[in-house]
Chains A and B, each alone.
Chain A
Amino acid sequence: MIKNKPKLLTTIGVMILIIGTSFLIGTIYRSTNNFTPGLLAGSNTQGYGLSMPFSFSSRNCIVELALNVPVDVYLLDANGLDRWLSEGVIEPVWFAKNVLPTETLSINLACRDNYSFLLVNSDNLTISGLLYPKLYGFERDLLWFSLTTLIAGLVFIAVSRLLLPRKNEKSIAVVLKKDHKIVYSKETMPSTPQTKLGLDKSKSLGQLCRLVVWEFDEYFVFPMLEVVVVVAVLTVLTPTIVEVLPFFSYNNLISGIRLVFLFLIFVSVVLFCHSYAGSISKGETKLLLSYPVQRSKLFLSKFITLFVMFLVVYVCVFALQIYLLALSPFEPMFYVSLLLMAIQLLLICSIATALSVVTKNELLSILVSVILLFGIENVIHGGLATFAGRFTIGFTFVRQQIHGGLSLVSMFDMLVSVFVVLGVSVLLFVFSYVYFTRKMEID
């Protein structure tokens, strides 16, 4: 963990800046998406027409009407729709009276919600036709969030620059010599693992265990582990409930899995790159290897500690879903989802490890890994290219094998989503292992 406050502030600032930039890129990309399907406006009830609820983000919206009669148009949010359906009360967030059948309306959507169009004909004529809503412009909430994050990141970096000691003061602290030996000041001295590890004992497995414990103490220092747990809780337990039939409740395990992977990618990449590349750039790896510690054990201890901790945290949080979704503890789909998540996590960890040992630069490896993985996950929706997509394919295939239903996923897709991922993960892991233990020069 970084003990120097300005450095810590700079790191936090850069992280926030990266998040803000990626959100801004996401916002700009999302603003190009204008597709919305035609909404059916017809109804059995004379004088009224209610469209299906549709998820709209906080953007500007043009609605082209193609109806048979003039109407009053009411835009209902989710609460308004509930009130209309249960009590018959119209509580719109926006409305327009006496609209012509082929008129175009402009709406400014304040917040993202599920909206429905309620059409009312004052002469009680049957309404039929379609509505074509078209969203344009930026999503205001996303734009504000990304800009605020960017500014916050810049403020953090600016403050850290102000707090940094002058260069000549720092150099005196580091290159202070006494009897031809370098003496570190208290602040700059790297933490020595010798006392904690007891490296003089050469028992192989014991050394690996001690390295694992040391790795845990060093990289899951407060609040790292807590952040991982909080992120897991917030992403795994908040998705929308899509299936209300108790027998099919396991389908809710797949809801919101994209969000889970987006955050999992970010957190795991940061920790893996911090552990591998960070320890190399800080000189910690060099210091450790100057003691009788094998490179292979150091590499394995890092991977095992981080991977197992992520797995344990996510398995524990996922286990809460058994209670929350009223699932049977023996529901096979629950264990399938855990297995699929572990496979995808292995790929994330392998990519982050490979990039870390190749670049040997913490910030660069985080940037490349996040842009690569986060970008693919954010830009492409579903399919074999994304973690969420592969998870969904595997889940759907096993579901149709266990619980039956329509054959939506082929065996080939499932094999690719599981075995190719495993193969690539193993390949990257072996490459990183060989490179770290045999080829890598540690400066």
Chain B
Amino acid sequence: MTLRIDVIASDDPDGAQVVDAAPVIGVEGLDACHVYRVYHLDGAIDHDEVRQLCAAVLVDPVVDRHTIDAVPTPLGRAVEVAPMPGVTDPAARELERAAAQLGFPPIRVSTARRYDLVGALSDTDVAVLTRRLLANDTIERSAEGELEPSFAGEAAVDARVETVVLTGLSDDELAALSRERVLSLDVNEMRVIQAHFEREGRAPNDAELETLAQTWSEHCVHKTFRARIELTHTAADGTVSVTEHDGLLPALREVTEELDPWWLRSAFVDDAGIIAFDDELDLAFKVETHNHPSALEPFGGANTGVGGVVRDILGVSARPIACTDVLCFGPSDLPDEQLPTGVLHPRRIRDGVVGGIGDYGNKLGLPTVNGAVIYHEGYVGNPLVYCGALGLLPHGSHPTDARVGDRVVSIGGRVGRDGIHGATFSSAGMDASTVDSVGSAVQIGDPITEKGCIEVVERARDAGLYTAITDCGAGGFSSAVGEMGEELGVRIDLAGVPLKYPGLQPWEIWLSEAQERIVMAVPPEKLAELEALCDAWDVELTDLGRFTGDRRLVVTHGELGVVDMPMEFLHDGLPRREMRGAWTDPAPREITAPGFDAGLLLTLLGHPDVASKEDIVRRYDHEVRGGTVVRPFVGPAADGPADAAVLKPLGTAHNDIAAVVSNGICPRVGVHDPWAMALLAMDEAVRNLVAVGGDPDRVAVLDNFCWGDPTKPDRLGSLVRAVQGCTDGARRYRMPFISGKDSLFNEFDGRAIPGTLLISAVGLVHDLHRAIDSAGMVPGDDLWLVGEGTPALGGSLVDAVLGLGATEVPRPLDDPLPRYRAVHAAIAAGLIRAAHDCSDGGIAVAVAEMAIAARCGVHVVVPRDGLGPLAAFANEGPGRLVLAAARQDRDAVAAALGVHARRIGEVMDDDRIVMRVSDASDDAEGLERASATIVEVTLAEAVAAFTGGDR
């Protein structure tokens, strides 16, 4: 029998949130919203058992009311929303398990949410609420009234493969075939495949074609980053130079090999980069992007983005210990009429993404400790979601030598039709029809299953149970097994793969990107021990096949042949691309800059890029594992922004070394000069890291390039310039790149995002007791400024806010390390109490943020450095930090910082932020001969602007 249970909580924050959000999307008449959790049960369960089930797990006797098989009479209009079949539904699964635990007959469960919308609502209102707020039709069904349950499960089908005839197809026909099957292969690549199978004397089947498309996708093989590129660079004065670039990725690797510091353990070879932590332990770091999925299903996209990058860390045998996230969204206040068809509103994307990140990281028990949020019109159609993870592993514990005879083993989640075509989908642009064609590429994560994988991998590593390991990401088994077996060859049988529901064809099993799976090479004699370990931790294990030594990829489904290809063709058959890029430096433009005043300071503090991110970041656990030394919020009111995160990993109490993680990102600069953007982002990352006590000589960085369609010369030209900036920067800062990721084709209807480079840095604080933050100052302390200003306002926040139209960007530092070494030495010596970097909004915002963080007044005299009044306060030149130090240490600080710093003011025992400027260069004289007050605001005003007055 089938029955339904409706449960509602007596006081219900979910309903209140719907009511609050309705006016924001233009629905004014919603007075109340009552949210029911709906459970459909199917099976031989009797009414008494249903009552027991309700009492045991479904209905909280204190706050819930429920009905069994009596749909509550709606007070208004009822809308029901349910996950589509095959979408991960942990509540359904846990309820089925709870019933089994109580000894009841097996049941199948389907869940839904029921919204009773009360108020004067038109049909349009209900439709708008449903579409914009309650349901996402990428993964959910919805209807007014009652929604029929859909129980997971389809009829089993006979496994079959479909032959795809390529012989005789013209270029146009090959291109059409690639499009229809979402292969994302170009004609050249299709021709190579056609030729290969003609040589073999047979037609490929669907699974083979899909395997090639996944393995050769931009997502998996980074075609653009391996291509030969001719760049035509036109300087602002019209000088044209043409240069040849023999691969962007090789260029990045080359600098790392050239720098090759002793503490570098592994770069660019595996799922994550690895550096030394101490004598025994290493740190693994990786940042991924999950942009395309997050645009369609923000919660699920970001959710699985976290899951994916955490698996990258498992893929180098490390225990994940922390997460980071950097997010780029369209403006939250974007008027509806400016929203392109097929795009979710930026606010909804933001809320979903933030929810998805929190849900996954929190449930994995990983602190999310560092990040940034940037708002810009260019991200309306393509939000960017960068998910990072940090891991810890004993030095030398990551095996990478699968042997002939080893078993190919998968652990973790089951396989469904979810996430098919993820790799190829993210290797193409999007438009309004994308949802329909690739809806299945998006999925919801299951962090608890991944948590099990974390526990098993750590123990399996320590027990030496595997000889190689990789995560199952884009392309599913086809990529993971294909890569792992590249050298040896593998033979796989898909018939035994546990499925979420029957009905999958072999190619779907092979390609599915169902989450939370790890693939290992396991010596046959270790298999039983691994199985026992998985049983102990409630993790499912599947023995897929073996490493053969014949260098072929052979996949069967029982007796049925599915794939039979030489590894050589799969991995080396892809023709290298020849591409052309063009970049023109913008002409310098004279701007008319106004002055700087208190009102502008408050505007900058309240700008979404600067303002407090508490409403986002507090939804992430930044304390779990008990190792957070410098957390995202600092100071007595816990609302000052931290520069970077300092973490003392659990289990490393034998010394005082801590890890530090920071980031740099400045897409506004890249619009004018992508080369400078790379160097300035690297500067931001390292100065953030140094500001909390990190050692500038122990920094490794990751690159993450999010760009538009690289087949268009202007996008590619900008990308090449940014890579040049990275390689130049790595040499200037002596920071090796250890891993990276490119996400291209971030375009909507032919409009590209601003080329956006994220630099993520990982390093060390040698003594965690010397870690500082931006709030540690007390009244009477001296304030010091490191670095000089720049007149160039191109790409600055103040330029964006005032619409100045500046195109000249700050000049990157030629020799940045001496100043950072000096600052680090002063911090490590215990001379510095607080530090904060000057980034968005320049020194004015930096000083005000320190005052907010410490809840102290400040009185500063900003050196004019020959700049106009606006630039003096708000320029975003590199290499600048504000430091606070005790007055009695003044001479010692001056000696430690030397030419790199000037004393600019004092921390006050009052509630005022006062700023003046001075032409004088000498510290003492400058403070004496300052201008009249230019900015004076109270702490309360600054706090209100920064927090939006809403705590």
A and B from one complex = no
